Amino acid sequence: MKTTTKKAIKILIPIVLAIFFGWYTFSQIPVSEIIPYFKKADYSWIIIGVFCGVLSHLSRAYRWRYLLEPLGYKVSFPNRIMAVFIGYLTNYGIPRSGEVLRAAAITNYEKVPFEKSFGTIVAERAADLLVMLGIVAITLILQFDYIFGLLEQSIPLKKLLILGVVGLILVFLLVLFIKKSKGKFAQKLKTFMKGLLEGATSILKMEHKWAFIAHTLFIWIMYIMMFYITTFSIEEVSGLSVGAILVSFIATSLTIAATNSGLFVYPLAVAATFSLFGIPELPSIAFGWIVWSSQTLMVILFGVLSFIFLPIYNQKPHK
């Protein structure tokens, strides 16, 4: 398959998925049933949630310096902030394109070589992935009895044990395959795992490692708080357990990574996970739209302002 064809497929699949899930959502629940929840929502909680989102993005921009400075580049904080928001805004059009444009903006205005700028963003993503895996592990520990109970209800214990053993064998075979095989797929997996390991170890070797780790944890805590605080804006979904929040947060984070920043899919992920904890579908989907819309409007506002002010700010040399 040609490279251009692969790129086209990567762009089109998330867009097609967004259109399909958008059609599915509104064919099941009309917009007229969701709008009342927007009208009666407590917007003070939504504003606080948006503020947490803004803090996470500011922290991401500040954290970036710890990866750029060891390379010999001191990029101004305003440029880092605007590049981050431009990247987030672009992801709504073409998934994962934001990282490229973010690096290109710094290359254009701060003269940082593109490959180095982009490399720091890849290292960031490796750190974020490790934190995400940690959140998944914590969620599994906190909700082990509940998740095991759900599985036991749908699958008999004997079959569940067999599936567990089969799963372990498959993992072992996959590791063996990656080590021994010389195929393209195995090499890609090996390169990915090697890069992830190198990214993690390089963080521990950097000069300001603890500041970098603190910012990374702060970013993800703000992501979770953004989601959790916004639940108080709708009475029907307020007061959820920590486990329910974490399970739903993980599911929605995956939709953001896999599609155009969760367009149309995000509310469905919220409804699917909330249903596991007995929350009705309609308020769940309405909450999903509220939290997604509030964060999207914030990204659009600051992203557009960044597009406007980035060239203005860089008209003259700055410290």
Kindly report which listed range (37-51, 169-183, 242-256) carries the lowest average pLDDT score: 169-183
Averaged confidence pLDDT in the chain: 82
Higher-pLDDT residue of 100, 16: 100
Average pLDDT on 149-155 reads 56
Asked if residue 118 belongs to a domain, the reply is: yes
Tell me if residue 94 falls in helix, strand or coil. Answer: coil
Q: Give the whole-angstrom CA distance, residue 122 versus residue 103.
A: 10
Q: Give the whole-angstrom CA distance, residue 117 versus residue 103.
A: 5
Domain of residue 262 covers 53-155+208-313
| CB neighbour class for 253 (10 Å; exposed up to 12, middle 13-18, buried from 19) | buried
Residue % of the chain over a pLDDT of 70: 73
Asked if residue 319 belongs to a domain, the reply is: no
Does 200 have pLDDT greater than 80? no
Asked if residue 8 belongs to a domain, the reply is: no
80-105 pLDDT tens trace: 999 999 999 988 877 777 888 999 99
Kindly report which listed range (18-27, 215-224, 252-261) carries the lowest average pLDDT score: 18-27
Asked if residue 47 belongs to a domain, the reply is: no
- Provide DSSP, 41-70: S-HHHHHHHHHHHHHHHHHHHHHTHHHHGG
Asked if residue 273 belongs to a domain, the reply is: yes
Instruction: Report pLDDT for 84.
Output: 95
- Of the pLDDT bands very low, low, confident and very high (cuts 50, 70, 90), residue 122 is confident
CB-CB neighbours of 31 under 10 Å = 9
Asked if residue 178 belongs to a domain, the reply is: no
Higher-pLDDT residue of 180, 52: 52
Does 8 have pLDDT greater than 70? no
Does 10 have pLDDT greater than 70? no
Contact indicator for 284, 270 with CB cutoff of 8 Å: yes
CA atoms in the 13 A half-sphere facing the CB of 91: 20
Contact indicator for 243, 146 with CB cutoff of 8 Å: yes
Q: Which long-range contacts (CB under 8 A, 24 or more apart) does 270-276 make?
A: 273/244, 273/247, 273/248, 274/237, 274/240, 274/244, 274/248, 276/150, 276/244, 276/247
Instruction: Report pLDDT for 169.
Output: 74
Does 266 have pLDDT greater than 80? yes
Model-level pTM greater than 0.85?
no
**Structural domain total, the chain:** 1
Asked if residue 167 belongs to a domain, the reply is: no
Does 192 have pLDDT greater than 80? no
- Of the pLDDT bands very low, low, confident and very high (cuts 50, 70, 90), residue 170 is confident
- Report the interhelical angle of 209-230 vs 184-205 (nearest 10°): 110
202-221 pLDDT tens trace: 666 678 888 999 999 999 99
Asked if residue 229 belongs to a domain, the reply is: yes
Instruction: Report pLDDT for 148.
Output: 60
Q: Give the whole-angstrom CA distance, residue 120 versus residue 127.
A: 11
Contact indicator for 107, 83 with CB cutoff of 8 Å: no
Q: Which residue has the tokens 């367009």?
A: 263
> What would the two tokens of residue 164 be?
């567990």
Side chain identity at 295, as an amino acid letter? Q
Higher-pLDDT residue of 173, 285: 285
> What would the two tokens of residue 259 be?
């599609």
Q: Which residue has the tokens 């992501």?
A: 223
273-314 pLDDT tens trace: 898 888 898 999 999 999 999 999 999 999 999 999 999 998
- Report the interhelical angle of 184-205 vs 157-180 (nearest 10°): 90
